[in-house]
Structure 1
């Protein structure tokens, strides 16, 4: 291509940039000039601008981008059930990546021309994304300082919190519930930092269409969601939360394929000055969800029962209680290579129902009766006594908690 053509192409884009169109207008103009469908994404492949007339590729959607190992500079871009091939150009300066420019269905005969023009468009795209990043960063600093104070209970006056929240369009007059997401096995100073950013993108994508504006913050390894809710009965808001969390987890499973995302949910608070309590409860629920067995569902703090009381109890006292209640049986199992601890735990977890316990262990009821009799002899207890059963239930909770 002639130098004049390239300069004219770049000047047209720079003029569009000066006019203040943003990524969406920039995308449209590049598409017109190249006569191709065009996408601009952020580093996590979330769409900032798109000319593709398909909902799966619209602004805000999170794309799967598979870089071609055979053809350099090409990628397969998919969303939902849709898939396109594209030339991919990284949008970065010497220190930071701002996103990607994708030119769809380039065709082999015109690939070189498209790559040349796309690289000319790159400068305008980088300038626009860099400007937006700087504006967002300035706003984010003030916003995050406020959210830090909110989540740690540093602001006591409800009226002050409500007024400051209105700056960002948050209605803190409504009750709120805090949910904390975390990447299991998070390692600082690794690619996990980028994965947490991607998790933040996922939560943002799911919550953005909601009628009431949610508050979202990335805090080290955590993604914190402060969600406004209606004054409904307890289970009404729980169903609403579960619907949202199901969508987040489905997206996380798709885009964070090799990692487990853990979540914990605090209780609802009507006063914004008490939101910090919901945050602390969500963190406890998240931790307990990873410690306790059979936590395949989302841990809600209000459903954790005695475990949430034990969690903050004196650790040494918990250890002593466990030893006094179950250590003799644990030592017997180790010496005899038996499984009486498992039998007792199943019996307690099945509400002391003989048939349910036998079925879960694939045992004949008479075999289970023999095992339970042996357990009573070893521990010197009577399992018809309610207080004994209660102590056993607590001891099994402690067994998992003392691993923390």
Structure 2
């Protein structure tokens, strides 16, 4: 088919007109949503823009269900068949030399793009790149300020009055309730460079997830751990449980960081912004119970052992356990019969009858075992203060998943 010069002129003129509209929106700071709105209004095609993680950030028109985008990773403008009824014209959005997203038109049935569509989408990608770059600078600046603020709080560098004033300016209500999650990643041979680079990438991933759900938060890192401070009422608007939210967040991260095992320490909820450092200490205490059986640990699930878990030195905790029940652990069987007997005895208020009933043992058999425990520990089990210490040590082993009772 021979192309007419008039058609080429019309296409070029229309593409130039649309490009002019896009530039006007860029200069007016309308944002990326206005770009896809203009494309939809001028072409009639459903259009969307996704980020580098293949999450759709803006759209205009009707998107099909279950649109899996991570299978497409073109570095040039490409028309690709998604299914028998659906095709996409995709062009990458670059920052410098890196692809930071894609702009796509959707075609149904046997429809396919013409030259004008190619011209329009490539111009749109350039405009989108500039808008996203400007927005990225704003977001990064805002996040840097928030992260610095949170780190100042955790390091105790701010007086209460100053803390509240900055919180107000950063849109955090000092009278609201707050909640914290701390992520810890486990790798065989960590290096400082890899840890920092990984954490920064994950911080960006988590921030976007929370932003999309309109959760007011600060995402930062400290001691190679990722910290998330959340204004609790903004989380409650999701109308899901804490555990469901954390599971969804972990699944979201596992899609991109699947090779890593991540544990999460979960704090209680406080009504005093000045106690943010308490939330952090609670998440660290919860993480000190880490074992291979689960990956989410709640501070509120801890008992009296939570006091010891708030110590900064894990060696001190292990020394406490070994000092008080180390000899019993060495003498015990692989089923921890002696430890379980001692725990049940203390838990039942040192009642022989109740302990024997719970363990389904005879009174004489229980007495024999308690004497044996007393001899191994070289201490009287009727000493209330001493048995409380033993009870605390055993609870630490329980929390760490080393024994099951």
Determine the structure 2 residue equivalent to 1:80. none
In structure 1, what is the Cα distance between the partners aligned to 2:309 and 2:72?
52
8 Å CA contact 1:44–1:201 kept in 2: the answer is no
8 Å CA contact 2:45–2:107 kept in 1: the answer is yes
8 Å CA contact 2:328–2:338 kept in 1: the answer is no
Determine the structure 2 residue equivalent to 1:253. 251
1:264-295 residue CA offsets vs partner (Å, 9 max, x unmatched): 2155252x4x244234324423422426x877
Determine the structure 2 residue equivalent to 1:305. 304
Answer yes or no: is 1:323 the counterpart of 2:322: yes
**Other structure's SS at 2:298 match:** coil
Counterparts in 2 of 1:330 and 1:246: CA distance versus 1, 3 Å: same
1:93-123 residue CA offsets vs partner (Å, 9 max, x unmatched): 3244433223334656515755564334211
Extract unaligned runs of 5+ from structure 2: 188-193, 349-353
* TM-score normalized with structure 1 length: 0.70
Answer yes or no: is 1:127 the counterpart of 2:130: yes
Determine the structure 2 residue equivalent to 1:199. 206
Answer yes or no: is 1:166 the counterpart of 2:168: yes
**Other structure's SS at 1:184 match:** strand
Extract unaligned runs of 5+ from structure 1: 58-62, 78-82, 209-213, 231-236, 359-363
Alignment of 1:388-403 (within 5 A): 388-397=386-395
Answer yes or no: is 1:216 the counterpart of 2:218: yes
Deviation at 1:179, TM superposition (A): 0.3
Answer yes or no: is 1:152 the counterpart of 2:152: no
**Other structure's SS at 1:179 match:** strand
Alignment of 1:345-360 (within 5 A): 345=340, 348=343, 351=347
1:29-87 residue CA offsets vs partner (Å, 9 max, x unmatched): 22234432111133334443112457989xxxxx86331599x875979xxxxx98644
In structure 1, what is the Cα distance between the partners aligned to 2:58 and 2:131?
12
1:331-390 residue CA offsets vs partner (Å, 9 max, x unmatched): 334xxxx325366248627935758975xxxxx646995866654554455656644542
Q: 1:225 aligns with which of 207, 226, 229?
A: 229
In structure 1, what is the Cα distance between the partners aligned to 2:301 and 2:385?
24
In structure 2, what is the Cα distance between the partners aligned to 1:96 and 1:313?
41
Give the superposed CA RMSD.
Answer: 4.6
Q: 1:263 aligns with which of 262, 265, 275?
A: 265
8 Å CA contact 2:265–2:296 kept in 1: the answer is no
8 Å CA contact 1:183–1:262 kept in 2: the answer is yes
Is the radius of gyration larger for structure 1 or structure 2? 2
**Other structure's SS at 2:69 match:** strand
Deviation at 1:22, TM superposition (A): 1.7
Alignment of 1:3-402 (within 5 A): 4=9, 5=11, 8-9=14-15, 11-19=17-25, 20=28, 21-53=30-62, 65-68=69-72, 74=80, 86-105=88-107, 110=112, 117-158=120-161, 160-172=162-174, 174-185=175-186, 188=195, 193-208=200-215, 214-219=216-221, 221-227=225-231, 243-244=241-242, 246-254=244-252, 256-257=254-255, 258=258, 259-266=261-268, 268-270=270-272, 272=273, 274-290=274-290, 298-300=297-299, 303-312=302-311, 318-333=317-332, 338-341=333-336, 344-345=339-340, 348=343, 351=347, 365=361, 369=366, 375-380=373-378, 386-397=384-395
In structure 2, what is the Cα distance between the partners aligned to 1:268 and 1:140?
23
In structure 2, what is the Cα distance between the partners aligned to 1:227 and 1:381?
49
Task: Count matched residues.
Answer: 365
In structure 1, what is the Cα distance between the partners aligned to 2:113 and 2:370?
75
